[in-house]
Every structure is written in structure tokens, then in C-alpha cells.
Chain A
Amino acid sequence: MRSVLDAGFIFWGLFLVFGFIVVGYLVWMLWAEGREASSVRVKAQPDEEAP
């Protein structure tokens, strides 16, 4: 582990930044899906109330 850290930020920073990007994408994806689901519910409301 120490030798990995000794290689410097140029080495382990690449994995770290990639991890941040993946987490960021995941959060954005969940937000986008939540937003889509809520807009579908809003659009569906009049039909649900219709007799």
C-alpha cells in the first residue's frame, strides 16, 4: 500500500477522480429518475381522478 502511495497523486489520484465521477453520475441518475417519476405522476393525476 505504501508503495502505491509513494507513486504519487498521478497514480492513485486517477482512481480517486474516477470514483468521484462515478458517484456523481450515480447521484445525477437517481435525481433524473426521481424527477421523471414525479413528472409522470403529475401528468397521470387527471386520468386517475376521471370517473
Chain B
Amino acid sequence: MSLHHWVFGAYFLIVFGIGWYSLRQTRNETDYWIAGGKLGWVLGGATLAATHTSAGTFIGTIGVMYTVGWSFGWLVLSIPLAYWFVAAVLAPRFTRVRKLTLPAFLETRYDSKGIRGLSSVIILVATVVYIQAQIVAGGLIANIVFGVPIQWGMIGFTVILLAYTVIGGMIAVVYTDFVQLIIMILGVVLAVPLAIRQVGGVHDLFTYVQAVNPLTFTWEGLPGTLLFTMGLAFMLGSVATPEKLIRLYAMKDMATIRRGILFAILVITGVNLLVFILSLASIVLFPVLPTGDLAMPMIALAVLPPTLGALMLAAITSAMMSTVDSLLIVAGSALSYDLFQNLVHPKATQRQKIMVNRIGILVVGCIPVLLLLTGVGEGELVQFIVLLFTALMASAFFMPVVLGVYWRRGTKEGAAAAMVGGVAATFLWKGFGLETIDPVLPGFLISAVLMVGVSLLTKPPPEEALASFFPRS
């Protein structure tokens, strides 16, 4: 057994242990879906940061920066600005009525089971396919570490994720996110000085980077419009994705949310900035990689000492797992809590509900890997879906959620039109629009126009539905 096997073996054992502990802590649906709604700022901020930091940060981001240079890094500033918006503008009103899922919030606000069903279907489809993309990355890591075929890696990765998420629900996800976040932070904090030393020091790093790729420190790597609209996509996506919004319900009060978000801002942006430095080192160390996506695995395997290399691969795995387990919770709740329990079997007992919830996560967790094994969603389609996911979520949910808590006049018809129109416009732009403008811009604009226009043309929602969100002082 190599060092890599020992490191990953220990990591998986800790994750299983947390799953088993969480099973005993889960007594009702509130525990299962939002960890009882009692998280403090450390755990709340950590789960937010770990969920946000995906394989994209460790592989995709470093790959893009390797190719287009440092200008791409400025997009990271959209993340703290988006979370500040959440803390200051959205959260105080969004958490006035504590629900268990985003579709349940939309049902309460718009007084419509149809809105809940529609939003659940959008979440379910987008999330399941996004999980698929992450699982492919998991298969690749398993292939590198254990030498197993990618398909077996995908199956193994899915089994491990499902094992702790199904039994432990959100409590297991929160605690594993915390451990995974520590591994991610340790991985990059220890790797950066070693990679710089390998290059020859800070001075040599900058000198060599400019020599190898003179465009690295210029604004010419990405078109300005694309940079701006991608920043908009990151910003809107950071606000409106269900796996992040639901964490606001999991934290106990507004003071906790504000501190948790500060913690998340520092960790997410800090990890990203350190990864950017690693990307500079990779430009010098591996100037002719066939694809930038190989930069981080190459650093882990060829630059870092074996122990640290294993830790870095565990960090990449942690980033993927902490995102996928949160997506499993969101997709599982959409299927079992919002669709099945709400529309098919609303009178189930608490025990039956938790059982159905576990089956829901199991089902949505198996679909991606089954699709991949049958050849659906391979190749370029997967990358296409990853880039589209944030734009889709932002276009579908930003307006119904934000205007939902700030504009009394927003109606269920307006929200439905905003969701469907936003998703359709995003898809259409991705297929036929300009490549220099991210699809989030047309998707968001269409969603906004439809939300406002259709709401003004339809009957206002009943006062009872609005009372909780717009109290008369």
C-alpha cells in the first residue's frame, strides 16, 4: 500500500465515522434537511465555504488562469460582494420564515404548490446533471490515486458519498464539509511555499512567468465583456443557488449568518488566491501542458513531496465531495420533500418522511452514475453543463427570491414566467448567442423583465401569504 492509499483510507474512514455519528443525531426532518437550524458561525461558514469551493476551484480555475492569465483572477472579487449582498440585503428577509428547502420558501411566498413543483423540477434536472460532471472528476482522481478504471472510480466515489449523505443528511454534510475544508486549506497553504521554492523564489517566479507568457499580467487574456458577464454570473450564482440559500436556514440567527459569511468570504477568496499563485508556479514548471486542467494534478504528483502530494489530491477530492454532498441534499429534498411528500403523500408520519428522504437522495445519487455508465453525459457535454449550471440557477431563481422578499406585488405567475423564461433564454444564448457574453446576462435580463411585467399584469398574491415577509410595523 502506498502513502496515497493510507491518506485516502484515513480520510474515507473519518467521513464514514461522521456519517454514523450523524445518523444518531438525526431525529426529524428539520435535522435531516437543515441540521436542526442551529448551526453556529464556524460550522455554518465552513459548510458554505466548502460547498462553494468545488473541483472547479482546484482544477478548472487553475486551468483557465494557466491559459488566459491573471485577469481571470479578478472574477474572484464577485464572490465576497455577492455574499455581502446576501448578508445585508437578502438574508434578513429570506429567513423571516424558516423553511426546509428553497421550493418550500417559494410556495409560501407565492402561495402556490405549482411554483414549488416547477422550481423542484428545475433544481432536480440541473443538479443531477451537475453532479454527473463532478463524479467524472472523481473517477479521474480515483484513476490517478488507485490506478482503477475511471468507471470504477465513479462508482466508488458515488457509493462513499451516498453512504454518509443518505444516513446522516445535512448534519453529516456539515461536519464532513468542515473536515474537507480543513484538508483543502492545509493542501494549498502548505503547497504554495513549496511550489515557489521549486521555481527558485518569489523574484524568479515573477521573472519566469513574464518570460514564459508575457500576457499573464495584462488585461488581454479575456475579452472585457466576457470578464464582466462572467463576474456577473459568479455573483448572481453565489446569491441564488439553492445549496447556498438553504444554509441560511441552517444557521441559527442573523448575527450568526453575518459572522458565518465573513468566515466564508475569507476562506473562499483566500483559497482561490492561493490557487492562483499555484497556477503561476505551474506556468513556469509546466509551460507546455496539453490542457491547463492538468496543472494541479501535475503539481501534486511531480512538485510536492509524496505526503503533501497525497494531501493535495485529498484536497481536490474534498472540494468535489463537499460540493456534491450538498447538491445531493438539494436534489434529494426536491424529489422526496418537495415533489413526493408535498404532491403525492402529504400525510406521511415523521418516520416515513425520513425514510422517503433517504430514498430520495439514494435515487438522485444513483441517476448520474447510471447515466454516465450508459454513455449519457460524457465528453464535452459535461464541461458544457458545469459552466451552464451557475447561469441557469441565477437566471431561474435570483429574481423570484430577491424580488419575492422585497416586492409585495410579485405574483406566482410572474415568478413562474421568470423561472421558465430565464432558463430558456440561458439555453438559447448558450446555443446561438455571442460567445463573448456569458449566457447569464440575457437569462437574468429576460427573467427580470418577465418577473416584473407578468406580475403587474396578474392578480396580486393574497395578504396572508405576504404577512410573514412584509410585516406591518
Contact = CB atoms under 8 A, between A and B. Distances in A.
A32 B206 contact: no
Residue in A8, A10, A33 with the greatest tally of chain B CB atoms within 10 Å = A10
A9 to B, nearest CB: 9
Contact of B265 (A4, A10, A22): A22
B183 to A, nearest CB: 23
B430 interface: no
Interface string A17-40: 110011011101100110010000
Nearest to A2: B203
A18 B80 CA distance: 8
B262 A10 contact: no
A10 B77 contact: no
Contacts of B461: none
A22 B266 contact: yes
Contacts of A10: 70-71, 74, 217-219
Contacts of B381: none
B70 A11 contact: yes
B40 interface: no
Given A14-B74, A17-B77, A29 B206 contact: no
Interface in B240-299: 254-255, 258-259, 262, 265-266, 269, 273
Contacts of A11: 70, 217
A18 B88 contact: no
Contacts of A17: 77
A11 B205 CA distance: 13
Interface residues of A, number: 23
Interface string B70-92: 11011011001100100110000
Nearest to A1: B202
B255 A36 contact: yes
Contacts of A45: none
Contacts of A28: 84, 88
Contacts of A32: 88, 258
Contacts of B87: 25, 29
Decide if the interface of chain A is mainly helix, strand, loop or mixed: helix
B207 interface: yes
A7 B196 CA distance: 16
B273 A18 contact: yes
A24 to B, nearest CB: 8
B77 A14 contact: yes
Nearest to B92: A32
A6 interface: yes
B269 A18 contact: yes
A6 B207 CA distance: 9
Contact of B202 (A4, A8, A25): A4
A26 B206 contact: no
A7 B248 CA distance: 39
A3 B217 contact: no
A15 B202 CA distance: 16
A33 B81 contact: no
Given A4-B202, A8-B217, A15 B273 contact: yes
Contact of A14 (B73, B207, B254, B259): B73
B197 to A, nearest CB: 15
Nearest to B210: A7
Contacts of A2: 203
A9 B39 CA distance: 40
Contacts of A18: 76-77, 80, 269, 273
Contacts of A26: 262
Contacts of A8: 217
B424 to A, nearest CB: 34
B416 to A, nearest CB: 34
Contacts of B254: 36
A21 B88 contact: no
A1 B206 CA distance: 10
A46 B453 CA distance: 46
Interface string B191-219: 00000000000110111001000000111
Given A18-B76, A22-B262, 5 more contacts: A18-B269, A21-B81, A21-B84, A32-B258, A33-B255
Interface of A: 1-4, 6-8, 10-11, 14-15, 17-18, 21-22, 24-26, 28-29, 32-33, 36
19 contacts: A3-B202, A6-B206, A7-B70, A7-B217, A10-B71, A10-B74, A10-B218, A14-B73, A14-B74, A14-B77, A21-B77, A21-B81, A22-B265, A22-B266, A25-B80, A25-B84, A25-B262, A32-B258, A36-B255
In the A-B complex, the 6 residue pairs with the smallest Cβ-Cβ separation, listed nearest first, are A3-B206, A3-B203, A7-B217, A21-B80, A29-B258, A10-B217
